[in-house]
Amino acid sequence: MRPYNEVALVAAIDFSVRLLRYAVEDDTVTRLMDDLARPIRRFEEICEEAEQSGDQDGALGVYAEEVDYLEDLIGASFVVLQTKIRRVCSSALSLNEELMTLIDRGVPGFEDQRAVLSLGDKYGSTGSTLVELIWDIGNYFKHRDEWPPEVWDEEAKGEKRSIKNARTTRKSVERVGIVWNSTAGNMRTAYEFLGVMPYSRCGKLAEAVQRWAGYVQNHAQTNS
């Protein structure tokens, strides 16, 4: 423990607590998710209009043309959500580090990023929190095209750590229905598993992340 006087000690800890509060209260990601909801809703309207036209072949053509764009929009939404999650985690870990340095006692559950992600209720029977799932889906979307085929196989001796890490992510996202070479659309499948139907209701995931962020803040206040 450093030889801080009591006033400096309180001030240093209070600064880290305020940084966490700012990260929790920031609504940038919520507004970005609202922005993403608009083109997703437009996709839904285009498909509805095509179906109502009575031209089944035309409707299928419209759907096929737009669906890749929709997959990218949904994937982007998980990356956007990650920015909020990352900021809250970073602030929580900084607070923990400050406490460990100043009073040699941190916040239980703030030991590392995965511990912070796991705070809160588990989602269904997955054994993980919703935020953990969102985080892993975002990583899958960002890196899936870089993964070698071995990632989808079982572990083998002498593998690179990068393949092992990617396989861990793969096993996580398989719980939400993501599969290799999906023809149904992995991002749409993920939304459906997470209860986002229609897809333009993606703002509910931002709300869920915000609830988790509030839980992290309350956990810090209770345990620091």
Cβ-count burial of 27 within 10 angstroms (0-12 exposed, 13-18 middle, 19+ buried)?
exposed
Place of tokens 């393949």: 163
- For the record, the structure tokens of 49 come out as 């209009």
Has residue 204 been placed in a domain?
yes
Of 174, 183, 71, 89, which is closest to residue 131 (Cα–Cα)? Answer: 89
**Mean of per-residue pLDDT scores for the chain:** 90
| Residue 142 pLDDT > 80 | yes
| Residue 11 pLDDT > 90 | no
Has residue 58 been placed in a domain?
yes
Question: What is the rounded average pLDDT of the residues 176-202?
Answer: 93
Q: How crowded is the C-beta side of 82, counted as CA atoms within 13 Å? A: 16
SS3 label, residue 191: helix
| Residue 109 pLDDT > 70 | yes
| Residue 2 pLDDT > 80 | no
Has residue 206 been placed in a domain?
yes
pLDDT at 138: 98
| Residue 53 pLDDT > 50 | yes
Has residue 18 been placed in a domain?
yes
Residue 114 CA to residue 21 CA, distance in Å, equals 20
Question: Would you place residue 114 in the very low, low, confident or very high pLDDT band (cuts 50, 70, 90)?
Answer: very high
pLDDT at 94: 94
Question: Would you place residue 92 in the very low, low, confident or very high pLDDT band (cuts 50, 70, 90)?
Answer: very high
Has residue 1 been placed in a domain?
no
Look at 4-8, 103-107, 197-201 and tell me which has the smallest mean pLDDT. 4-8
pLDDT at 54: 65
Our count of domains for the chain comes to 1
| Residue 1 pLDDT > 50 | no
pLDDT at 120: 96
Question: What is the rounded average pLDDT of the residues 161-184?
Answer: 92
Question: What is the rounded average pLDDT of the residues 13-37?
Answer: 94
Question: What is the rounded average pLDDT of the residues 84-107?
Answer: 93
Question: Would you place residue 186 in the very low, low, confident or very high pLDDT band (cuts 50, 70, 90)?
Answer: very high
Has residue 224 been placed in a domain?
no
pLDDT > 90 fraction of the chain, expressed in percent and rounded: 69
Has residue 178 been placed in a domain?
yes
Has residue 89 been placed in a domain?
yes
Range of the domain at 33: 6-217
